[in-house]
Amino acid sequence: MAYAIPEPYGWNESFRMFYASIDDEHKGLFKSVFDVAADPSSAHALSHCYDVMDIHFSHEEAILQRANYTDILYNEHKKAHDNFMNRLGGLKSPVSADAVAYLKNWLVRHIKTIDFKYRGFVNC
Ligand SMILES: [Fe+2]
Ligand SMILES: [Fe+2]
């Protein structure tokens, strides 16, 4: 299934998780990818994107662990984060158009598939 990529790139209501802290972090993730797309040659934008993703994923994984999210779903979720961070960590500025498209697509798809699975199932 294809997911619409918002243009201009940014968070919108279709991504709402109904957890204020998670939604705020997701807004920051979109902004960080927007900033990489706006200036692919900026090493600062790329490292900021890496940092906010890293912080968010750690937060999300801690929430899932506290909630006793099933091992299978937790492992699937963590693996998705780890794979993405490997790819993101391997990028160098200037970031290619293909890599920018990957970042944009991955975040949209991840929230709407993997993150949405825990929507309503955890307290945070
Ligand atoms: Fe996630
Ligand atoms: Fe998330």
Q: Which CATH number fits domain 28-118: 1.20.120.10, 2.40.110.20, 1.20.120.50, 3.30.565.10?
A: 1.20.120.50
The dihedral built from the CA positions of residue 21, 23, 29 and 31, taken in this order, carries a sign that is: negative
* Two tokens, residue 28: 């920051």
CA distance 8 to 88: 21
Q: What single letter denotes the amino acid at residue 37?
A: A
Give the pTM.
Answer: 0.96
Cβ–Cβ under 8 Å, residues 29 and 107:
yes
Ligand nearest to the CA of 114: 1
Domain ranges of the chain: 28-118
How remote is the CA of residue 96 from the centroid of ligand 1, in Å? 24
For 23-70, write each residue's pLDDT tens digit: 999 999 999 999 999 999 999 999 999 999 999 999 999 999 988 878
Q: How far is the CA of 42 from the centre of ligand 2 (A)?
A: 24
Residue 13: the pLDDT is 98
The DSSP code sequence of 63-80 is HHHHTT--HHHHHHHHHH
Going from the Cα of 123 to the center of ligand 1, the distance in angstroms, rounded, reads 15
- Whole-number Å distance, alpha carbon 115 to ligand 2 midpoint, is 6
Q: How far away, in angstroms, is 51 Cα from ligand 1 center?
A: 15
63-100 tens-digit pLDDT: 999 888 788 899 999 999 999 999 999 999 999 999 99
